[in-house]
Amino acid sequence: MYELNERNKIIVFTGPDGSGRKSVAEAVGQTFGMEKVISFVTRQPRQGEVNGQDYHFITHDEYRSMEHHGEFLESVEIDGQFYGIRGLDIERKLNHNDSIYLILNHEGAGILKRIYGDKVIRIFLYADRRTVEERERKRGLAEDVIAMHLNHYDQEMGYRSWCEHAFENYDLAQTTYEITNELEAYLQRDLVDKD
Ligand SMILES: Nc1nc2c(ncn2[C@@H]2O[C@H](COP(=O)(O)OP(=O)(O)O)[C@@H](O)[C@H]2O)c(=O)[nH]1
Ligand SMILES: Nc1ncnc2c1ncn2[C@@H]1O[C@H](COP(=O)(O)OP(=O)(O)O)[C@@H](O)[C@H]1O
């Protein structure tokens, strides 16, 4: 397995769907110049999702073949679809960057923590059930997808106490600011506060 150097950090954004992980992760990632590790997935792209940006969208056969060749560092099944992170992607990205980020459910976050220990910082984002439901509806997600996400809500919320840091996300700018401050202590980029 790839040996991480002392500056390498893996930031994992986790929490219930609709809590704002992607929005916050993108903003924080941009601030620190961190690269995202993109998952492979067998589900169909949703409207607006871009292959290679949101996910690597692949068929079940392609997924099985990658799995057979041992390419996945972690692989989970969620509601009949497969999601996985390719080990080589983590290695390559950490070769070029001190830190990387991922957006994972609680299983993925736990697996990475077990593999990489102190190098992994889990940022848990949350909002109440009604708020995430409203956000997902506003985002235009299909009702069956929203229902599946809400089915996972309690289990994902139960992961909060395992995470290094937790943030309630109601005001996106405020949440992003707080997380940036928290991560600055780990990443030490000497960011200048312009406000
Ligand atoms: N463990 C794991 N979880 C993932 C991976 N990629 C995405 N996820 C999470 O799995 C869930 C997938 O649900 P999905 O309906 O596709 O949500 P979305 O992609 O976040 O809109 C989300 O909570 C994702 O953040 C992965 O490679 N591994
Ligand atoms: N603090 C917030 N206030 C209002 N809407 C938000 C907030 N954070 C995220 N959103 C919106 O909620 C939806 C879900 O956010 P997203 O970042 O995709 O969440 P996740 O990745 O956790 O599923 C998106 O439409 C996003 O623009």
pLDDT tens for residues 98-143?
A: 999 999 999 999 999 999 999 999 999 999 999 999 999 999 999 9
pLDDT tens for residues 34-79?
A: 999 999 999 999 999 999 999 999 999 999 999 999 999 999 999 9
Atom 16 of ligand 1 has which residue's CA nearest to it?
A: 43
**What percentage of the chain has pLDDT greater than the value 70?**
96
**Spacing, Cα 61 to ligand 2 middle (Å):** 32
Domain presence at residue 50: yes
Domain presence at residue 80: yes
- pLDDT of 3 higher than 80: no
Which residues have C-beta within 8 Å of that of residue 126, sequence separation ≥ 6? 15, 16, 19, 157, 160, 166, 167, 168, 169
- For ligand 1, residues with CB inside 6 Å are 17, 39, 43, 74, 76, 78, 83-85, 103-105, 107-108, 145
Domain presence at residue 193: no
Residue-number span of the structural domain to which 34 is assigned = 9-186
Domain presence at residue 1: no
CATH number of the domain encompassing residue 53: 3.40.50.300
**In angstroms, how far is CA 138 from the centroid of its own chain?**
21
> Ligand 2: which atom is nearest the Cα of residue 19?
22
Atom 11 of ligand 1 has which residue's CA nearest to it?
A: 105
In this prediction the pTM is: 0.96
What domain count does the chain have? 1
